[in-house]
Amino acid sequence: MSKKTDVLIIGGGISGISVSRELSKYDLDVTLVEKEADVGWGQTKASYANRHPGARWTPGTLAQQMIAEANQMMDQLIEDLDIEFRKSGELVLAFNKEELESLKTMKKQGDYIKVEGLEFIGPDEIKRMEPNVNSAAIAALYMPTAGVFNPFEQMLALYENARDNGVQMLIGTEVTGIIPENGKFIVETNRDEIQAGHIVNAAGLFGERVAKMAGADSFKIRYDTKSTCLILDPLLGDIVQHIVSGLNDLQFTRYKLVTPTFDDKILLYTTFPEPAKGIEDRAVEKRMFNLTIESAKVLVPDVDFENNIVASFSGLTARNDRGDFIIEASEKLPTFVNVALPPPGITCSPAVGKRVVEILKDNGLGLREKTNFNPYRKSIKSLRGSSPMQVRELVGKDPGYGNVVCRCETVTEGEITEAIKRGAKTLDGVKFRTRAGMGRCQTNYCGPKVTDILAREQNQPFEKITKKGRNSNYINHKGS
Amino acid sequence: MANIESIPLDVAVVGGGPAGIFACLELSKSLKLKIALFESEAELGGMPRSCHIFFGLRDRKRIYTGPAYAQKLDSLIRKTSVEIHTGTTVLNIIPGNPGEVHRLNVVSPEGLRSYENRFLILATGCFESSRQARRIAGTRPAGIFTTGTLQQLVNLRHLRPGKRAVIIGSEHVALSSVLTLRRAGVSIIGMVEEYPELQTYTFPADAMKRFFGFPIYKDTSVKAILGNDRVEGIELARGKDQKVFQLACDMVIITGRFRPDSSLIDNTPIEQDLSTLGPVVDMNFRTTVPNIFAAGNVLRGADMHDLCALEGKLAARNIIRVSKSNEAGAGQFVSIRAKRPIRYIVPQKIAPTQIRKRLFSKLFPWPAIQVERTLRNPVMEAWSGKEKIWEASFCKLIANNRYSLPVEKFEWQRVDSRKGITLEVMSADS
């Protein structure tokens, strides 16, 4: 069986989903394929989710241009799509004269795209704003417009809204071959064949592979930097109120960060050169724990990070051989658009969506705006953070909101069933939508209960429920 | 949450495990008190519900299986006038100022309710540290469980979660893991202990090892968990030369290193002990906020259910005493803290005047200490400022075992109460 579509987006990460949402504004048949059991399971879910003002990037790069454009669009998007965002501001620390020079360069770079409120501050002011920061810092660049997203929410908001506006989301569909034919494409997948007029390659770490399938490769993805995030127990308190970061080289191959998260935890992040053991190498190695903590201690010393880790994750970041964003139609196949974004994909996703649509239009895609496009989406209502009156209303409508399933994060059955209605099929899918299992005990209490609910809502036996699709069954009833 | 009406109570007990239930049973002997018990699970009983080893020795003076013990507690409490709220989660506690009531907000499928309580007992228990908290490296596949999760699956749902398991850790609970796995028909590929010594009694561990035929790898650390979708194995490094080897398995059971489930005291003025992560209490189970008490494993993870039950009972007796006498003063307390490798001292505040009143026994060590790893021939000392006030040597202190701290032997006249007391292990062979 074969399916026809005007635009096929390959890859359900933040960039592919942003493109799909932008395209859903037009009268088109749009299809998105994602090989995993849910969207955003590549680099997106492991993002440190900062909103960058753009001062770190060099004027003239596509990356900086996209960040600048996206920051103009973001506030509207946050409102329309009910996205969690915390405008925390950021302090970039300098520890010596050389780094101070880099800060000055950063400020100039920021001024170039008119970042608001950039300001140098001295050690006393740093101490006042962030008492726990390393007192060896001689200066900081304060960037008040920086902030933190909930990376899952931002991605899922765009996803749900695009789907509501008619984009076909084919989850668990992996592209195995692409045959160009008269400017169009026949795309083979592990499921049905798809005939596509245009293709947007947003396959992230797999971008080079997908481009090669069509013979539209003009870049190389580098698999040589690995990032690690450690999430800390909120017990440590507000170690920092602002994002506190160090300087980095242009390619972000070395970067250190201590940042608050959307859910009042603290996140430590580092990235460093690391020979890859495969594209999907997501193992957190022992020395990464140590390296991440060491780099965090450069920024914020004297905190017992070691004994307060709640979660840890790692993964490769898709950098490319050009060292900038790649958003372009293939020279050989103009109806094939490559999107290859090194960080910060989350920050600039809305602008990338818009840019891709312009490129598609320039290469023959007819665009007619829909009259019935719905720009709004509401987030899943949660018990946590609701007022007593809201809780009454929630539980009144759905008694499941009175049944707390995840004790660490106070997530109720009501939220979990709503997440399943919105597309969660796995334990991780529920986790990213509701936070169930993100707390101190890391699903050890709620895992079996969430599995019960998934089984019940999807009318499947317990043993069929997976952690993250494929053969990741929560229990291995078949054995091996 | 001030804009919903509050229900008045004399005592609210949070947590329907052994500590909470025994507190209620004791409190209900005082007919004047209005008492309510809140339990987030649908059934009472707490941890024993999903555990099947021996229960009830010191508190019920006979032996039960876990579920039978939980049922017994359930039937006992249902004979009393205590209001029982199962399936009800306490969202937060808002301590009142001295002399005022403490507010408790709870939610259940019936809705949101608020209680105003003269007294509170926290008995929320504990849980095992996650793989993440223990910084165990590797991938994040399905098939990594704690003993608690394993027991939920095997004993409450009657499922076999895998075929071949490796057990990490050798505390008492690891032995419970062995029994649970064997009960579900899971092969045990090995037990891995980071330290050179077992963290439990040698005799039962060796007996199980021989009976079920699995190796125990001591002095062995986990290098990585392997497998992408499902656990495929585990990479270990053994001994001084850190010889690396792998074991194939489809499950990794992470055992022990319990910590209190004390999130209700976060963001409250109730002082937390950073070594136990539970609330600081005095010898009468009082937290640092008047009329809020804590008992059982919320004080420190984890101790035997029967000791928790006795703690609940004693906390309740103190509440009855305080409620009758309107006794306000908490007495003169001296703070006591421990240095590693001593894991904790509970209670953390000791009233020298109350010491002689108590009869110390091995059955109920109080004040109690635990060490974080098994120590051979340790010498322990207590200091107050620059004064040594006590010293003792031991043959062996087993990790995860509760030992009585003989505070009656301390030279209290030399204690400077402002400086408190520090307990240290000065030397040990391992």
Q: What's the pLDDT score for residue A238? A: 85
- A73-107 burial by CB neighbour count: b if 16+ within 10 A, else e? ebeebbeebebbbbebbbbbbbbeeebbebbeebb
Considering the segment(s) B6-127+258-330 as one domain, its CATH architecture is 3-Layer(bba) Sandwich (3.50)
Q: What is the pLDDT of residues B244-279, one digit of tens each?
A: 999 999 999 999 999 999 999 998 999 999 889 999
Contact between B110 and A399 using a beta-carbon 8 Å cutoff: yes
pLDDT at B4 over 50: yes
CATH number for A86-147+222-317 (one of 3.30.1240.10, 3.10.20.70, 2.40.30.10, 3.30.9.10): it is 3.30.9.10
Q: How far is CA A411 from CA A400, A407, A462, B88, in A?
A: 10, 7, 21, 13
Question: Which residue from A465, A475, A384 is spatially nearest to A426, judged by alpha carbons?
Answer: A465
Q: Name the residue type at position A439.
A: G
Chain B residues within an 8 Å CB radius of A383: 91, 107
Q: Helix A427-434 vs helix A413-421: angle between axes, to the nearest 10 degrees?
A: 110
The angle subtended at Cα B151 by Cα B261 and Cα B216, nearest 5°, is 100
Would you say A379 and A355 are in contact if contact means Cβ atoms under 8 Å apart? no
Test the B interface: residue of A231, A475, A477 with most B CBs within 10 Å: A475
Q: What pLDDT, on the 0 to 100 scale, is given for residue A251?
A: 57
Please say whether the dihedral angle defined by the alpha carbons of residues A293, A295, A298 and A300, taken in this order, is positive or negative: negative
Q: Which of A309, A447, A474 sits opposite B132 (nearest CB)?
A: A309
B62-76 burial, b for 16+ CB within 10 Å, e for fewer?
eebbbbebbbbbbee
What are the chain A neighbours of B263 within 8 Å (beta carbons)? 407-408, 440
Residues 208-237 of A with CB under 8 A from B: 234-235
- Note the pLDDT of residue B1: 45
Backbone angles phi, psi at B2, to 5 degrees: -85, -15
Predicted ipTM? Answer: 0.95
Strand arrangement of the beta sheet that strand B342-346 belongs to = B342-346, B368-371, B403-404
Backbone φ and ψ for B414, nearest 5 degrees, come out as: -95, 0
Q: Average pLDDT for residues A200-206, to the nearest whole number? A: 97
- Confidence (pLDDT) at B209: 94
Are the CB atoms for B100 and B120 separated by under 8 Å? no
pLDDT in tens, A124-183: 999 999 999 999 999 999 999 999 999 999 999 999 999 999 999 999 999 999 999 999
Residue B358, pLDDT > 60, answer: no
In chain B the first and final C-alpha atoms are separated, in Å, by: 52
Is the minimum CB–CB distance between A306 and chain B shorter than 8 Å? yes
Tens of pLDDT, residues B224-249: 999 999 999 999 999 999 999 999 99
Same CATH fold assignment for domains B6-127+258-330 and B130-254:
yes
Do the chains contact at A383 and B107, CB–CB below 8 Å?
yes
At A208-219, the pLDDT tens digits run: 999 999 999 999
**Predicted confidence band of residue B401 (pLDDT cuts 50, 70, 90):** confident
Tell me the per-residue pLDDT of A301-335, one tens digit each, with 9 for 90 and over. 999 999 999 999 998 888 899 999 999 999 999 99
User: Phi/psi at B419 (nearest 5 deg)?
Assistant: -85, -20
Contact with chain A for residue B112, Cβ under 8 A: yes
Per-residue pLDDT at B332:
81
pLDDT digits 0-9 by tens, B285-302:
999 999 999 999 999 988
Nearest chain A residue (CA) to B186: A479
CATH 3.50.50.60 residue spans of chain A = 1-85+148-220+321-379
H or E element that contains B238: strand B233-238
As beta bridge partners, residue B164 has B187
pLDDT at B62: 82
Does the pLDDT value for residue A396 go beyond 50? yes
Facing residue for B91 by CB, picked from A311, A408, A410: A410
Is A404 exposed, middle or buried, given 0-12, 13-18 or 19+ CB atoms closer than 10 A?
buried
Q: Is the pLDDT of residue B126 over 80?
A: yes
pLDDT surpassing 70 at residue B190: yes
> Interhelix angle for A447-457 vs A427-434, to 10°?
100
A429: pLDDT confidence band, cut at 50, 70 and 90?
A: very high
Q: Which CATH number fits domain B130-254: 3.50.50.60, 3.30.465.10, 3.20.20.30, 3.40.50.720?
A: 3.50.50.60
What mean pLDDT do residues A380-396 have?
A: 93
Nearest neighbour of B229 by CB, restricted to A391, A410, A471: A471
Domain with CATH 3.30.9.10 in chain A: 86-147+222-317
Q: State mean pLDDT over A195-211.
A: 97
Task: Please write the tens of the pLDDT for every residue from A55-112.
Answer: 999 999 999 999 999 999 999 999 999 998 999 999 999 999 999 999 999 999 999 9
**pLDDT for residue B331 is more than 90:** no
Yes or no, beta carbons of B132 and A473 under 8 Å apart: no
Q: How far apart are CA A437 and CA A446, in angstroms?
A: 7
Report pTM: 0.95
CA–CA separation, A360 and A374 (whole Å): 22
- Closest approach of chain A CAs to the CA of B157, in angstroms? 9
Pairwise CB contact (< 8 Å): A407 & B40: yes
Residue A263, pLDDT score:
86
Under the banding of pLDDT at 50, 70 and 90, the label for residue B19 is very high
Which are the contacts of B376, defined by CB distance < 8 A and separation ≥ 6? B197, B395, B396, B428, B429, B430
Q: CATH class for domain A1-85+148-220+321-379?
A: alpha beta
Chain A contact probe: residue of B107, B225, B261, B340 with most A CBs at under 10 A: B107
d(CA A409, CA A415): 12
Q: Is the dihedral of CA A131, A137, A142, A145 positive or negative?
A: negative
Residue pLDDT, tens place only, A221-255: 988 888 999 999 988 888 999 999 998 765 566 78
Question: What mean pLDDT is predicted for residues A375-396?
Answer: 94
Of the ranges A94-98, A267-271, B327-331, which one carries the lowest mean pLDDT score?
B327-331
Long-range Cβ pairs for the range B271-276 (8 Å, 24+): B272/A235, B273/B344, B273/B346, B273/B348, B275/B337, B275/B338, B275/B343, B275/B344, B276/B300, B276/B301, B276/B343, B276/B344, B276/B346
Question: φ, ψ for residue A459 (rounded to 5)?
Answer: 55, 50
CA distance B220 to A182: 62
**Kind and range of the H or E element at B116?**
strand B111-122
| Stretch B318-323: mean pLDDT | 92
A374-378 mean pLDDT: 98
Rounded to the nearest 5 degrees, what angle is found at the Cα of B127, between the Cα atoms of A403 and B259? 130
Q: How confident is the model at residue B359 (pLDDT cuts 50, 70, 90)?
A: low
Of B378, B370, B375, B374, nearest to B426 (Cα)? Answer: B378
Q: Does domain A388-464 have CATH number 1.10.10.1100?
A: yes
pLDDT at position A254: 75
Active site residues of A: 52
Give which of A77, A20, A81, A165 is closest to A376, Cα–Cα. Answer: A81
DSSP H helical ranges for B228-374:
305-325
| A384-392 mean pLDDT | 92
Question: What is residue A53's three-state secondary structure?
Answer: coil
Does the beta carbon of B250 lie under 8 angstroms from any beta carbon of chain A?
yes
Q: How confident is the model at residue A480 (pLDDT cuts 50, 70, 90)?
A: very low
Instruction: Classify residue B349 as left (phi > 0), alpha (psi -120 to 50) or beta.
Output: beta
Torsional sign, CA A440, A442, A445, A451: positive
Of A280, A311, A462, which has the smallest distance from its Cβ to B159's Cβ?
Answer: A462
pLDDT at B314 over 80: yes
Q: What is the pLDDT of residues B47-62, one digit of tens each?
A: 999 887 777 777 888 8
Is B160–A313 a contact, with Cβ atoms under 8 angstroms apart? no
Average predicted confidence (pLDDT) for chain A: 94
- Angstrom CA distances, B165 to A253, A480, B248, stand at 38, 12, 9
Around B103, how many Cα atoms within 13 Å sit in the side-chain half-sphere? 15
Other CB atoms within a 10 A radius of the CB of residue A351 amount to 24
Instruction: Please calculate the CA angle A270-A440-A226 and round it to the nearest 5 degrees.
Output: 20
Residues B166 and A122: their CA atoms lie apart, in Å, by 53
Cα angle B377-B380-B381, degrees, rounded to a multiple of 5: 155
Which has the closest alpha carbon to A2: A178, A133, A140, A191? Answer: A191
**pLDDT exceeds cutoff 90 at B428:** no
Query: Residue B181 pLDDT more than 50?
Result: yes
Contacts (Cβ under 8 Å, ≥6 apart) of A261? A49, A148, A150, A231, A267
- Beta bridge partners, B94, equal B103
| Chain A stretch 369-428, residues whose beta carbon is closer than 8 A to a beta carbon of chain B | 383, 387-389, 391-392, 395-396, 399-404, 407-408, 410, 412
- Give A138→chain B minimum CA distance, Å: 33
The residue ranking higher by pLDDT, A179 or B329, is A179
Q: What is the C-alpha end-to-end distance of chain A, expressed in Å?
A: 34
The span from the CA of B233 to the CA of A167, in Å, is 41
The dihedrals phi and psi of A388, each to the nearest 5 degrees, come to: -55, -40
- Segments making up each domain of chain B, as ranges: 6-127+258-330, 130-254, 336-427
What is the bridge-based pairing of β-strands A2-10 and A30-34? Answer: parallel
Partner-chain contact B163 A479, CB within 8 Å: yes
